[in-house]
Amino acid sequence: MSAEGSRSNVQGAFFALGAMAVYASHDVIIKHLGTYYSSFQILFFAVLFSFPLITIVIMHDETVANLRPKYWSWTIIRTACTVVVGMAAFYAFTHLPLAECYSIIFMTPIFITVLSIPLLGEKVGLHRWMAILVGLAGVLVVLEPWSSTAELSLGHLGALAAAAFSSLAAVIVRKVGKEERSAVLMLYPMVANFLVLGAVLPFVYKPVAIEHLGTSAAMACLGVTGGLLFIQAYRRGEAVIVAPMQYSQILWATFYGIMFFGEKPQSHVLIGAGIIISSGLYIVLRESGGAKSENSPVLTTMDMARDKAAPRQPLEDVSPAE
Protein backbone atom coordinates (compact mmCIF):
# COMPACT_ATOMS: atom_id res chain seq x y z
CA MET A 1 0.00 0.00 0.00
CA SER A 2 1.26 3.47 -0.89
CA ALA A 3 2.06 6.11 1.71
CA GLU A 4 -0.96 8.09 0.52
CA GLY A 5 -3.20 5.05 0.94
CA SER A 6 -1.87 4.43 4.44
CA ARG A 7 -2.44 8.07 5.36
CA SER A 8 -6.01 7.89 4.02
CA ASN A 9 -6.70 4.77 6.08
CA VAL A 10 -5.39 6.48 9.21
CA GLN A 11 -7.67 9.44 8.50
CA GLY A 12 -10.59 7.09 7.93
CA ALA A 13 -9.93 5.31 11.20
CA PHE A 14 -9.78 8.59 13.12
CA PHE A 15 -13.02 9.83 11.54
CA ALA A 16 -14.68 6.53 12.45
CA LEU A 17 -13.42 6.69 16.03
CA GLY A 18 -14.77 10.24 16.23
CA ALA A 19 -18.12 9.06 14.90
CA MET A 20 -18.27 6.31 17.51
CA ALA A 21 -17.50 8.79 20.28
CA VAL A 22 -20.26 11.08 19.03
CA TYR A 23 -22.72 8.18 18.73
CA ALA A 24 -21.89 7.06 22.27
CA SER A 25 -22.63 10.56 23.57
CA HIS A 26 -25.89 10.47 21.61
CA ASP A 27 -26.82 7.18 23.30
CA VAL A 28 -26.02 8.60 26.74
CA ILE A 29 -28.63 11.31 26.14
CA ILE A 30 -31.15 8.66 25.11
CA LYS A 31 -30.54 6.80 28.36
CA HIS A 32 -30.73 10.01 30.40
CA LEU A 33 -34.04 11.11 28.85
CA GLY A 34 -35.34 7.57 29.26
CA THR A 35 -35.68 8.18 33.00
CA TYR A 36 -38.31 10.83 32.23
CA TYR A 37 -40.05 9.87 29.00
CA SER A 38 -41.05 6.91 26.86
CA SER A 39 -38.46 5.78 24.34
CA PHE A 40 -41.04 6.41 21.60
CA GLN A 41 -41.40 10.04 22.66
CA ILE A 42 -37.63 10.50 22.79
CA LEU A 43 -37.25 9.06 19.29
CA PHE A 44 -40.07 11.26 17.95
CA PHE A 45 -38.35 14.45 19.07
CA ALA A 46 -34.99 13.17 17.82
CA VAL A 47 -36.53 12.70 14.36
CA LEU A 48 -38.34 16.05 14.57
CA PHE A 49 -35.18 17.99 15.34
CA SER A 50 -33.25 16.07 12.67
CA PHE A 51 -35.44 17.29 9.82
CA PRO A 52 -33.87 20.76 9.48
CA LEU A 53 -30.36 19.33 9.74
CA ILE A 54 -30.93 16.64 7.11
CA THR A 55 -32.64 19.19 4.86
CA ILE A 56 -29.54 21.38 4.95
CA VAL A 57 -27.35 18.39 4.10
CA ILE A 58 -29.59 17.32 1.22
CA MET A 59 -29.59 20.86 -0.19
CA HIS A 60 -25.89 20.37 -0.91
CA ASP A 61 -26.60 17.28 -3.03
CA GLU A 62 -26.28 18.68 -6.55
CA THR A 63 -27.43 15.51 -8.29
CA VAL A 64 -30.22 16.29 -10.75
CA ALA A 65 -33.00 13.85 -9.94
CA ASN A 66 -36.32 13.48 -8.15
CA LEU A 67 -37.12 11.77 -4.87
CA ARG A 68 -38.98 8.79 -6.34
CA PRO A 69 -37.23 5.51 -5.49
CA LYS A 70 -35.95 3.35 -8.31
CA TYR A 71 -36.64 0.26 -6.21
CA TRP A 72 -39.93 0.80 -4.41
CA SER A 73 -40.17 -2.64 -2.79
CA TRP A 74 -36.63 -2.56 -1.34
CA THR A 75 -37.08 1.05 -0.24
CA ILE A 76 -40.28 0.15 1.61
CA ILE A 77 -38.67 -2.86 3.30
CA ARG A 78 -35.59 -0.85 4.28
CA THR A 79 -37.79 1.98 5.56
CA ALA A 80 -39.77 -0.46 7.72
CA CYS A 81 -36.52 -1.94 9.03
CA THR A 82 -35.24 1.51 9.95
CA VAL A 83 -38.43 2.30 11.88
CA VAL A 84 -38.11 -0.96 13.84
CA VAL A 85 -34.40 -0.34 14.49
CA GLY A 86 -35.05 3.13 15.89
CA MET A 87 -37.76 2.01 18.28
CA ALA A 88 -35.94 -1.17 19.32
CA ALA A 89 -32.58 0.53 19.87
CA PHE A 90 -34.01 3.48 21.80
CA TYR A 91 -35.98 1.08 24.01
CA ALA A 92 -32.89 -1.05 24.62
CA PHE A 93 -30.71 1.93 25.54
CA THR A 94 -33.28 3.19 28.04
CA HIS A 95 -33.67 -0.21 29.74
CA LEU A 96 -30.24 -1.88 29.62
CA PRO A 97 -26.76 -0.95 30.87
CA LEU A 98 -24.82 0.66 28.03
CA ALA A 99 -22.10 -2.00 27.83
CA GLU A 100 -24.64 -4.81 27.77
CA CYS A 101 -26.68 -3.09 25.05
CA TYR A 102 -23.64 -2.51 22.84
CA SER A 103 -22.45 -6.08 23.33
CA ILE A 104 -25.67 -7.43 21.82
CA ILE A 105 -25.78 -4.85 19.01
CA PHE A 106 -22.25 -5.93 18.05
CA MET A 107 -23.96 -8.98 16.51
CA THR A 108 -24.66 -6.83 13.44
CA PRO A 109 -21.70 -7.99 11.27
CA ILE A 110 -22.67 -11.59 12.00
CA PHE A 111 -26.30 -11.01 10.97
CA ILE A 112 -25.12 -9.25 7.80
CA THR A 113 -23.07 -12.31 6.86
CA VAL A 114 -26.06 -14.62 7.37
CA LEU A 115 -28.49 -12.38 5.44
CA SER A 116 -26.08 -12.01 2.52
CA ILE A 117 -26.72 -15.66 1.65
CA PRO A 118 -30.45 -15.49 0.71
CA LEU A 119 -30.55 -11.84 -0.35
CA LEU A 120 -27.28 -11.49 -2.24
CA GLY A 121 -26.59 -15.07 -3.25
CA GLU A 122 -23.25 -15.16 -1.47
CA LYS A 123 -21.62 -18.38 -0.37
CA VAL A 124 -20.28 -18.36 3.17
CA GLY A 125 -17.44 -20.77 3.85
CA LEU A 126 -16.75 -22.93 6.87
CA HIS A 127 -14.50 -20.33 8.52
CA ARG A 128 -17.22 -17.69 8.58
CA TRP A 129 -19.86 -20.17 9.78
CA MET A 130 -17.56 -21.02 12.67
CA ALA A 131 -17.16 -17.29 13.39
CA ILE A 132 -20.95 -16.92 13.40
CA LEU A 133 -21.32 -19.76 15.91
CA VAL A 134 -18.62 -18.21 18.09
CA GLY A 135 -20.46 -14.88 17.97
CA LEU A 136 -23.70 -16.55 19.04
CA ALA A 137 -21.82 -18.18 21.91
CA GLY A 138 -20.63 -14.70 22.92
CA VAL A 139 -24.22 -13.49 23.07
CA LEU A 140 -25.10 -16.41 25.34
CA VAL A 141 -22.20 -15.45 27.62
CA VAL A 142 -23.55 -11.86 27.78
CA LEU A 143 -27.12 -12.99 28.50
CA GLU A 144 -26.22 -15.91 30.82
CA PRO A 145 -29.59 -17.66 30.38
CA TRP A 146 -28.38 -20.54 32.57
CA SER A 147 -27.80 -18.26 35.56
CA SER A 148 -30.41 -18.15 38.31
CA THR A 149 -29.92 -14.38 38.53
CA ALA A 150 -30.28 -13.78 34.78
CA GLU A 151 -33.07 -11.38 33.85
CA LEU A 152 -33.89 -11.57 30.16
CA SER A 153 -36.10 -8.63 29.33
CA LEU A 154 -37.72 -6.74 26.46
CA GLY A 155 -34.60 -4.58 26.50
CA HIS A 156 -32.49 -7.57 25.45
CA LEU A 157 -35.03 -8.43 22.76
CA GLY A 158 -34.91 -4.81 21.59
CA ALA A 159 -31.12 -4.86 21.25
CA LEU A 160 -31.26 -8.13 19.27
CA ALA A 161 -34.02 -6.72 17.05
CA ALA A 162 -31.97 -3.56 16.46
CA ALA A 163 -28.98 -5.64 15.38
CA ALA A 164 -31.02 -7.93 13.14
CA PHE A 165 -33.09 -5.28 11.36
CA SER A 166 -30.17 -2.87 10.95
CA SER A 167 -28.31 -5.74 9.29
CA LEU A 168 -31.18 -6.28 6.87
CA ALA A 169 -31.24 -2.55 6.10
CA ALA A 170 -27.48 -2.60 5.46
CA VAL A 171 -27.73 -5.56 3.10
CA ILE A 172 -30.51 -3.79 1.17
CA VAL A 173 -28.28 -0.74 0.82
CA ARG A 174 -25.61 -2.99 -0.61
CA LYS A 175 -28.14 -4.44 -3.05
CA VAL A 176 -29.57 -1.15 -4.39
CA GLY A 177 -27.37 1.59 -2.96
CA LYS A 178 -25.29 2.11 -6.10
CA GLU A 179 -28.36 3.14 -8.10
CA GLU A 180 -30.62 4.63 -5.44
CA ARG A 181 -30.05 8.24 -4.40
CA SER A 182 -28.80 8.83 -0.89
CA ALA A 183 -31.48 11.48 -0.41
CA VAL A 184 -34.13 8.82 -1.02
CA LEU A 185 -32.49 6.39 1.38
CA MET A 186 -32.31 9.08 4.06
CA LEU A 187 -35.68 10.82 3.71
CA TYR A 188 -38.11 7.93 3.44
CA PRO A 189 -37.12 6.29 6.75
CA MET A 190 -37.18 9.68 8.46
CA VAL A 191 -40.68 10.51 7.20
CA ALA A 192 -41.91 7.03 8.13
CA ASN A 193 -40.48 7.37 11.63
CA PHE A 194 -42.17 10.75 12.00
CA LEU A 195 -45.59 9.38 10.92
CA VAL A 196 -45.45 6.15 12.94
CA LEU A 197 -44.13 7.79 16.10
CA GLY A 198 -46.55 10.68 15.69
CA ALA A 199 -49.40 8.15 15.76
CA VAL A 200 -48.00 6.53 18.92
CA LEU A 201 -47.11 9.79 20.67
CA PRO A 202 -50.61 10.64 22.05
CA PHE A 203 -50.59 7.39 24.03
CA VAL A 204 -47.20 7.93 25.70
CA TYR A 205 -46.73 11.70 25.70
CA LYS A 206 -45.59 13.55 28.81
CA PRO A 207 -45.07 17.34 28.90
CA VAL A 208 -41.46 18.11 28.01
CA ALA A 209 -39.37 20.40 30.19
CA ILE A 210 -37.64 23.25 28.37
CA GLU A 211 -34.18 21.96 29.23
CA HIS A 212 -35.10 18.55 27.86
CA LEU A 213 -36.14 20.11 24.56
CA GLY A 214 -32.64 21.53 24.33
CA THR A 215 -31.20 18.13 25.21
CA SER A 216 -33.31 16.49 22.49
CA ALA A 217 -32.04 19.03 19.96
CA ALA A 218 -28.46 18.29 21.04
CA MET A 219 -29.15 14.57 20.61
CA ALA A 220 -30.38 15.17 17.05
CA CYS A 221 -27.26 17.22 16.27
CA LEU A 222 -25.04 14.45 17.61
CA GLY A 223 -26.86 11.84 15.54
CA VAL A 224 -26.47 13.79 12.30
CA THR A 225 -22.85 14.71 13.13
CA GLY A 226 -22.00 11.07 13.81
CA GLY A 227 -23.50 10.05 10.48
CA LEU A 228 -21.54 12.68 8.58
CA LEU A 229 -18.31 11.67 10.32
CA PHE A 230 -18.91 8.06 9.37
CA ILE A 231 -19.47 9.02 5.73
CA GLN A 232 -16.18 10.92 5.78
CA ALA A 233 -14.51 7.88 7.34
CA TYR A 234 -15.65 5.64 4.48
CA ARG A 235 -14.60 8.23 1.93
CA ARG A 236 -11.05 8.30 3.24
CA GLY A 237 -10.37 4.78 4.45
CA GLU A 238 -11.02 1.25 3.31
CA ALA A 239 -14.13 -0.29 4.82
CA VAL A 240 -12.06 -3.12 6.29
CA ILE A 241 -10.23 -0.49 8.35
CA VAL A 242 -13.25 1.65 9.19
CA ALA A 243 -15.84 -0.99 10.13
CA PRO A 244 -14.03 -2.47 13.17
CA MET A 245 -13.86 0.99 14.76
CA GLN A 246 -17.45 0.36 15.85
CA TYR A 247 -16.13 -1.85 18.61
CA SER A 248 -14.53 1.16 20.32
CA GLN A 249 -18.03 1.91 21.58
CA ILE A 250 -17.60 -0.69 24.31
CA LEU A 251 -14.91 1.57 25.83
CA TRP A 252 -17.21 4.60 25.73
CA ALA A 253 -20.07 2.52 27.11
CA THR A 254 -17.97 1.39 30.05
CA PHE A 255 -16.69 4.92 30.72
CA TYR A 256 -20.07 6.67 30.41
CA GLY A 257 -21.85 3.92 32.32
CA ILE A 258 -19.52 4.37 35.29
CA MET A 259 -19.45 8.18 35.11
CA PHE A 260 -23.14 8.97 34.68
CA PHE A 261 -25.22 5.94 35.60
CA GLY A 262 -23.20 4.09 38.24
CA GLU A 263 -23.00 1.02 36.00
CA LYS A 264 -20.20 -1.43 36.64
CA PRO A 265 -19.95 -3.86 33.70
CA GLN A 266 -20.10 -7.42 34.95
CA SER A 267 -17.29 -9.75 33.97
CA HIS A 268 -19.53 -12.01 31.87
CA VAL A 269 -20.66 -9.00 29.79
CA LEU A 270 -17.08 -7.96 29.05
CA ILE A 271 -16.05 -11.54 28.26
CA GLY A 272 -19.05 -12.02 25.98
CA ALA A 273 -18.35 -8.69 24.28
CA GLY A 274 -14.77 -9.80 23.66
CA ILE A 275 -15.99 -13.04 22.06
CA ILE A 276 -18.49 -11.20 19.83
CA ILE A 277 -15.90 -8.60 18.81
CA SER A 278 -13.38 -11.32 17.95
CA SER A 279 -15.99 -13.08 15.82
CA GLY A 280 -16.95 -9.87 14.04
CA LEU A 281 -13.33 -8.92 13.39
CA TYR A 282 -12.64 -12.34 11.92
CA ILE A 283 -15.58 -11.97 9.52
CA VAL A 284 -14.37 -8.50 8.55
CA LEU A 285 -10.88 -9.81 7.83
CA ARG A 286 -12.23 -12.73 5.79
CA GLU A 287 -14.38 -10.34 3.76
CA SER A 288 -11.43 -8.08 3.08
CA GLY A 289 -9.97 -10.88 1.01
CA GLY A 290 -13.23 -11.89 -0.61
CA ALA A 291 -12.85 -15.44 0.63
CA LYS A 292 -15.54 -18.02 -0.08
CA SER A 293 -17.92 -15.58 -1.78
CA GLU A 294 -19.02 -15.61 -5.41
CA ASN A 295 -20.00 -11.95 -5.25
CA SER A 296 -17.99 -9.02 -3.99
CA PRO A 297 -18.05 -9.25 -0.20
CA VAL A 298 -19.92 -6.62 1.78
CA LEU A 299 -16.91 -4.52 2.71
CA THR A 300 -15.32 -4.70 -0.74
CA THR A 301 -18.56 -3.53 -2.29
CA MET A 302 -18.65 -0.56 0.06
CA ASP A 303 -15.13 0.40 -1.01
CA MET A 304 -16.08 0.15 -4.69
CA ALA A 305 -19.12 2.33 -4.13
CA ARG A 306 -16.93 4.90 -2.42
CA ASP A 307 -14.32 4.89 -5.17
CA LYS A 308 -16.84 5.15 -8.02
CA ALA A 309 -18.99 7.86 -6.41
CA ALA A 310 -19.28 11.03 -8.47
CA PRO A 311 -17.29 13.88 -6.95
CA ARG A 312 -20.29 16.21 -7.10
CA GLN A 313 -22.44 13.84 -5.01
CA PRO A 314 -21.40 14.26 -1.39
CA LEU A 315 -24.18 12.15 0.12
CA GLU A 316 -22.92 8.60 -0.18
CA ASP A 317 -25.15 6.22 1.69
CA VAL A 318 -22.79 3.95 3.56
CA SER A 319 -24.39 1.94 6.32
CA PRO A 320 -21.98 1.09 9.08
CA ALA A 321 -22.19 -2.32 10.63
CA GLU A 322 -24.00 -1.21 13.81
Q: What is the 3-state secondary structure (H, E, C) of 154-208?
A: HHHHHHHHHHHHHHHHHHHHHHHCCCCCHHHHHHHHHHHHHHHHHHHHHHHCCCC
Q: What are the residues whose beta carbons fall under 8 Å from the beta carbon of 281, sequence distance 6 or more?
A: 244, 247
Q: What is the pLDDT of residues 17-30, one digit of tens each?
A: 999 999 999 999 99
Task: Say whether pLDDT at 161 is over 50.
Answer: yes
pLDDT of residue 163: 94
Residues present in the chain in total: 322
pLDDT in tens, 53-92: 888 877 776 666 677 888 999 999 999 999 999 999 999 9
Task: Give the global pTM.
Answer: 0.82
Give me the mean pLDDT over the 216-232 stretch.
Answer: 90
What is the average per-residue pLDDT within 118-136? 86
pLDDT in tens, 296-308: 444 554 444 444 4
Measured in whole angstroms, the distance separating CA 98 from the mean position of its chain's CA atoms is 15
pLDDT at 94 over 90: yes
Domain boundaries, the chain: 24-308
| Band of residue 318 on the pLDDT scale cut at 50, 70, 90 | very low
Q: What is the per-residue pLDDT across 178-211, written as a single tens digit (0 to 9) for each?
A: 788 777 888 899 999 999 999 999 999 999 999 9
Arithmetic mean of pLDDT, 275-287: 83
Task: State how far the Cα of 73 lies from the Cα of 213, in Å rounded to an integer.
Answer: 36
CB 113 within 8 A of CB 284: no
Q: What is the mean pLDDT of the chain?
A: 83
- Average pLDDT on 101-107 reads 91
Alpha carbons 166 and 115: distance in angstroms, whole number: 11
Instruction: State the pLDDT at residue 308.
Output: 40
What does the alpha-carbon distance between residue 229 and residue 45 come to, in Å, rounded to a whole number? 22
